[in-house]
């Protein structure tokens, strides 16, 4: 989803994509400290939220789900918000990664389906 550099709008849009609501102060800090524009339109990103959870699979195997909400600065100074979820195996190697660009329940549904699949529980 594309958003604005207006702190109030950014906080509202980020809150639609994160697990925990984002305050206006957090949006302002993200822009001023992490999203300062680089020379020559170099791409830039900042992680607005970073969550890690473990899934215990049958046989004691532990997988990890890494959920990040990332803000990207795109061409023409546009900001984009994306949720990225990566599944890591017991050895820490990434097995799959999904990206979600719109505020919806898709990331949460994907997380739950992955947990269920790995835990060996049928729904």
3 state DSSP class of 119: helix
User: Is pTM, for the whole model, over 0.85?
Assistant: no
The pLDDT value recorded for residue 63 is 92
The pLDDT value recorded for residue 123 is 37
- In order, the DSSP letters of 50-118 are EEEEEEE-GGG-EEEEEEEEEEEE-GGG-EEEEEEEEEE-TTS-EEEEEEE-SSSSHHHHHHHHHHHHH
Cα gap 91→103, rounded to integer Å: 31
The pLDDT value recorded for residue 25 is 95
The pLDDT value recorded for residue 55 is 87
The pLDDT value recorded for residue 56 is 85
State the 10-residue block means of pLDDT for the chain, 123 residues long.
92 94 94 70 80 86 93 84 93 93 88 86 42
The pLDDT value recorded for residue 27 is 94
The pLDDT value recorded for residue 33 is 81
86 DSSP β-pair partners: 66, 97
The pLDDT value recorded for residue 59 is 80
């Amino acid at each position: 989803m594309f958003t604005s550099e207006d702190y109030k709008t950014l906080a509202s849009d980020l809150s639609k994509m994160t697990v925990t609501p984002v305050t206006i102060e957090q949006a302002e800090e993200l822009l001023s400290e992490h999203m300062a524009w680089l020379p020559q339109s170099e791409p830039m990103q900042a992680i607005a939220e970073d969550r890690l959870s473990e899934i215990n699979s049958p046989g004691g195997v532990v997988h990890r789900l890494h959920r990040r909400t990332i803000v990207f600065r795109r061409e023409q100074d546009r900001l984009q918000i994306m949720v990225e979820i990566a599944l890591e195996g017991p050895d820490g190697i990434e097995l799959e990664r999904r990206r979600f660009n719109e505020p919806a329940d898709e990331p949460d549904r994907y997380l739950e389906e992955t947990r269920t699949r790995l835990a060996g529980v049928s729904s």
